[in-house]
Structure 1
Amino acid sequence: METRAHHVLIGLFTVAAVLGALLFALWLGKSSLDRDFDNYEILFDSSVSGLAPGSLVEYNGIRVGNVEQLWLDPQDPRKVHALIRVYAGTPVKQDTQARLALANITGNMNIQLHGGTPESPLLTSRRGPPLIVADPSPLTTLLGNGEDMMSNLNNLLSSANRILSPENTNHLSHTLEHLEVATEAIASQREEFRQTLQHMNSLGKQAGLAMEEITKLTHTANGLLDEHGSDLMNSAKHSMAALDRSTSRLDKLLADNDKALDSGLQGVADLGPAIGELRATLASLRRVTQHLEDNPSGFLLGREKLQEFNP
């Protein structure tokens, strides 16, 4: 009897624990159902792959609700509408923004609310849930362009395979061998390179000294010009002034004696025939003198010059 009584007590305790757990669960469910929520509509301009009803809604990393419904825009099927509900009192402002965020490594997505300044008023609407236009998500763009990225990656790998073909590999090997030979040749000429660098260094020093001398000469020339240049310029000015005065006097003299010069030039023209006759007379006299020098007796006596006999 005592053993049976223990079993009855254990059974009653178990039944009481199960009933308590059920009542606690019903209380929690009732409290969650009685909690107030605010509904908002999120508009996405791209794919929402990984988002589903029941997905979490977070505001700056804190859970504030979940996704209630998803549907396509009847006018533009490229757009997706999401109806979310958040806890009443959540400060969703007019400048609050929304975007998709990766929930875990399995590819599930959540909706992240962010932004909202204290000065901005709360987001409300008289006609249905207020609308929030979602920001483009870099992750969504990356996933949407994944096919193009993989295609580009395949093209890149194909190009790399063509570049690293056996023929190109052999050419690269030969190039490296030639480069190694050239490096060894340069290393063997290190002493000559060192001497060349020393010569270049000495030439640079000499060039520096030459530049210093040229600079000194320039300074000296500038000093001479500064000292005597003004005197030379003054002398040149005086000379030009004297030349100008002489030219003016000559022009005046020519103008005053214009008629006399015309008469003199006419007299010179009349002397032309006389000068010609004088030139002919002088030529005849030169020939007579030449004959007298060559054969004076023959010219005076009318005999011809005897020819010398050459045996």
Structure 2
Amino acid sequence: METRAHHVLIGLFTVIAVGGALLFALWLGKSSIDREYSYYDIGFSQAVSGLSSGSSVEYSGIKVGDVTRLWLEPDDPRKVRARIRVYGDTPIKTDTQARLALANITGSMIIQLHGGTPQSPRLEGDADNPPLIVADPSSLSALLENGEDLMSNINNLLVSANEIFSQENTARLSRTLEHLEQATSVLSDQRGDLAQTLQQFNQLSQQANTVMADLSSLARNANGLLDEQGRSVLDSAAHSMTALDRTTARLDSLLAENQGALHNGMQGFNELGPAINELRSTLGALRRVTQRLEDNPSGFLLGREKLQEFTP
């Protein structure tokens, strides 16, 4: 009897538990049916991988509804429409925006609503003709769409890196590093000479600066000399040219006025030519006589020949 009583109690408890669960499910269903919803269409211009019917709709991080339907645009299959239902008391405004967001690390997506200023009018959602909210481009969706290209580029990068770090290139790099180390060692050994060379170069630079300063001073002095004395020389030359012009003008005038007298004088000079020649001959003869008188005065005066000197 006791065993049968235990079975009855267990069966009764099971019936009560199942009945309670059914009543709770009916209550949840009734509350869901009785609750008012607003319906909106969200337009996407990119793929919506990870989004499905039943995905959550959040507004500023709070769940306000879910996705009821997904379909492609008949005229443009590149675009996707998602119909959402949100609680009727959700303040959807005319400037409310939508975007895709990652729900968890498994890749599930949700629709996030954001924006909407207090001054904007409310956007009423009708189940028969729901208004359209154009979704913002999602950087995450673009990344997922271009993931294949990204992986291909990464693969190409790795292949190029493998080619760069091949055994041949590694050997060349090792030789280059060895040569660099040798060059560094040589420079380290000759750093004394290098320091001396740099010091000499510094002295040469200082001397060059001194020479340039002297040249600059000389140029300034030359400019001052040209400015001060060059102007006076030019003024003197200008006065001299002016005086020469006046003298030339006077000479031209004098020649024009005495042209006749000069012509007669030139004729007189022509008549003096024979007399001058005769005078020249006389002077030559007199010079010869004087020379003979100096050489042998006794012979010239007495008509004797020049006495010979006696040498014992």
Q: TM-score, normalised by structure 1?
A: 0.72
Q: 1:265 to 1:37 in 2, by over 3 A?
A: farther
Q: How does 1:162-181 map onto structure 2 within 5 Å?
A: 162-181=163-182
Q: Give 1:89 shift.
A: 1.4
Residue matched to 1:39: 39
Residue matched to 2:235: 240
Q: Give 1:86 shift.
A: 0.8
Q: How does 1:235-274 map onto structure 2 within 5 Å?
A: 236=232, 240=235, 244=239, 251=245, 255=249, 258-263=252-257, 267=262, 271=266, 274=270
Identity score, percent: 53
Q: 1:274 to 1:69 in 2, by over 3 A?
A: farther
Residue matched to 1:308: none
Distance 1:33 1:275 in 2: 159
Tell me whether 264-273 or 10-19 shows the greater mean CA deviation.
264-273
Q: Can you list the C-alpha shifts for 1:47-90, whole angstroms capped at 9, x where unaligned?
A: 11111111111112211111111111111111111101111111
Q: Can you list the C-alpha shifts for 1:128-150, whole angstroms capped at 9, x where unaligned?
A: 11111111111111111122222
Distance 2:214 2:248 in 1: 54
Q: TM-score, normalised by structure 2?
A: 0.71
Residue matched to 1:304: none
Q: Give 1:161 shift.
A: 2.6
Q: 1:10 to 1:77 in 2, by over 3 A?
A: closer
Distance 2:180 2:271 in 1: 94
Tell me whether 56-65 or 3-12 shows the greater mean CA deviation.
3-12
Distance 1:70 1:14 in 2: 41
Q: Which amino acid aligns with 1:80?
A: V
1:106 aligns to 2:136 (yes or no): no
Residue matched to 1:54: 54
Q: Which amino acid aligns with 1:86?
A: V
Consecutive unaligned residues in structure 1, runs of 5 or more:
302-311
Residue matched to 1:153: 154
Q: Which amino acid aligns with 1:21?
A: A
Contact 2:58/2:112 (CA < 8 Å) preserved in 1? yes
Q: Which has the larger radius of gyration?
A: 2
Q: Can you list the C-alpha shifts for 1:5-34, whole angstroms capped at 9, x where unaligned?
A: 555445434432332232122111211221
Consecutive unaligned residues in structure 2, runs of 5 or more:
294-299, 301-312
SS in 1 for 2:180: helix
Q: Which amino acid aligns with 1:56?
A: S
Distance 2:123 2:272 in 1: 129
Distance 2:142 2:271 in 1: 116
